[in-house]
Structure 1
Amino acid sequence: MLQLFLLFLSFSLAVEALHAFMQDESEHKHYLIVSAVTNLLVNLLGVWFFRNYARVNIVYRNAEDMNYHSVCLHVLADSIRSAGLILASWFLSLGIENAEVLCLGIVSVAVFMLVLPLFKATGNILLQIAPSNVPPSAFTKCSRQIAACEDVSEVWQGRFWELVPGQAVGSLSIRVKSGADDRAVLEYTHGLYQDLGIQDLTVQTDEFVGPVS
C-alpha cells in the first residue's frame, strides 16, 4: 500500500540524513539539481490534477476517496523530497554547513506527518475498529432498545466495523422468546442501526427455551 511505502520513505530519508551527517557528504552535482527541478514541476502538475484530495485530513466517503488520497499524498511526498534537495543545494551555495542533513531531516518529518492520518485510517479498517463517526454510546443505546422489546429476551455479540471507507457493517445475535414473531424484531433492529449508518447488518436470531421443570 502507498501509505506504507511513504512511511518507509520517511524512515529512509532520516537514515540518509544521519549517514550524510556522519560522512559529512555535501556534494550536489548539477544534473541532480536539474533532475530535482524537473521532477518537482511534474509533481506539481500531478498535485493540481488531484487538488480535491490535496489535504492531510479528509473524510472518506467511499473506497475511491482513499485511493485517490493515497496517490495525491505520494505525489506530494515526492514533491517535498525534490524541494528539499533544491533547498539543500541553495543553502550549500550560501555556505551553510550540514545543509543536506537539515533538509533531509525536515523532509523526513514532513513526509511522516503527511502520511500518518492516512496510515491510521487504513489501520483502523484492517483492524476492524468500530466506526469513528458513531459514538459507542449510540451502539449501547440501540442494544438496550432492542432488549426492551417484548419479544426479545437477550442481545449479545454486537460487532461493528468499517469494511471500506464510508461503508460500515456489523453483526448481532438476538434471542427471541418462544413463539415470538422474529420478523418484526429484525425489521425494528435493522431500522435502528440504519439510522446510525450501518448499511449492512447481519442478525442471527435464536429462540429462547425456558428451563424444563
Structure 2
Amino acid sequence: MLQLFLLFMSFSLAVEALHAFIQDESEHKHYLIVSAVTNLLVNLLGVWFFRNYARVNIAYRKAEDMNCHSICLHVLADSIRSAGLVLASWLLSLGVENAEVLCLGLVSAAVFVVILPLFRATGGVLLQQVPANVPTSAFNKCLRQVAALEEVSEVTRSRFWELVPGRAVGSLSILVKGGENDHSVLHYVHELYHDLGIQDLTVQTDHV
C-alpha cells in the first residue's frame, strides 16, 4: 500500500506543479518553510535509522526486507519533498521565476524514480511472476533434464512464482511410465529444483 501511496504522491506533485505554473501562484510562505525544514530533519533521522535499506534497488531475501525497504523509501520520498520546498523558497528569495514549479517537477520525478523498483518488485509478487533472480533458461534446462529421465514420459503444467520476497515456489506434473518407481523420480526432481532456488515444489505424478 505504501508503494501506491508514494506513486500517487508523485503524480499529485506533478499535477500541483502544473497547477502552479498555470495559476502563477508561486510565493514565499515562511510558515511552510519552517515546517519543511523541521520535517526534513526528522525524516533524515528516519533514513539514518533504516540506513541498511536506504537504497533504490535491493535484493529481498525475506518478506521483512521488502517491508523495511518500503518504509525507508516512504521516509526518503517525504525528505525529498521537504527538501524541494526548502529549495523552492531559496530560489524564490533569489528572484527566480517559477521556482516552485521547477522544484515540484523535480521532486515528482525523483519520488517516481525512487519508488519504481519497489513498485515493480511488489507487482511481480502480486502477479505471481517467475522469480526475477532465476533466468528462464535455467527453468528450461531443468525441464529438459527431467524429461530426459528414462522413467519419465512427459512433463506438463510447470509453474513457478515468488510467493513472498525471497521465497520461490512451484508445481509441475510428471507422467511416469507404468511400473516405474516414483520415489527416485521425485527425489531427483526436488533436488534439481532446490538447487535452482525453489524452496517449495509440488509434484504430481501420473502413470501411463
Question: TM-score by structure 1 length?
Answer: 0.96
SS at match of 1:153: strand
Asked if structure 1 preserves the Cα contact closer than 8 Å seen for 2:20 and 2:26, the reply is: yes
AA aligned to 1:193 is Y
Superposition pairs for residues 44-193 of structure 1, below 5 Å?
44-193=44-193
How far apart in 2 are the matches of 1:164 and 1:112? 24
Partner deviation per Cα, 1:42-64 (whole Å, 9 max, x = no partner): 00000000000000011111100
Partner deviation per Cα, 1:99-131 (whole Å, 9 max, x = no partner): 000000000000000000000111111111111
Q: Which residue number corresponds to residue 196 of structure 2?
A: 196
Partner deviation per Cα, 1:170-206 (whole Å, 9 max, x = no partner): 0000000111111111001000000000000000000
How far apart in 1 are the matches of 2:119 and 2:125? 10
AA aligned to 1:11 is F
Partner deviation per Cα, 1:134-192 (whole Å, 9 max, x = no partner): 11111111111111112111101110011111100000000001111111110010000
Q: Root-mean-square deviation (CA), in Å?
A: 0.7
How far apart in 1 are the matches of 2:72 and 2:177? 54
Asked if structure 1 preserves the Cα contact closer than 8 Å seen for 2:125 and 2:162, the reply is: yes
Question: TM-score by structure 2 length?
Answer: 0.98
AA aligned to 1:106 is L
Structure 1 residue 28: deviation in Å? 3.0
Structure 1 residue 26: deviation in Å? 1.1
Q: Which residue number corresponds to residue 15 of structure 1?
A: 15
How far apart in 1 are the matches of 2:137 and 2:80? 42
Name the % identity: 80
How far apart in 1 are the matches of 2:52 and 2:75? 13
How far apart in 1 are the matches of 2:108 and 2:146? 51
Asked if structure 1 preserves the Cα contact closer than 8 Å seen for 2:28 and 2:93, the reply is: no
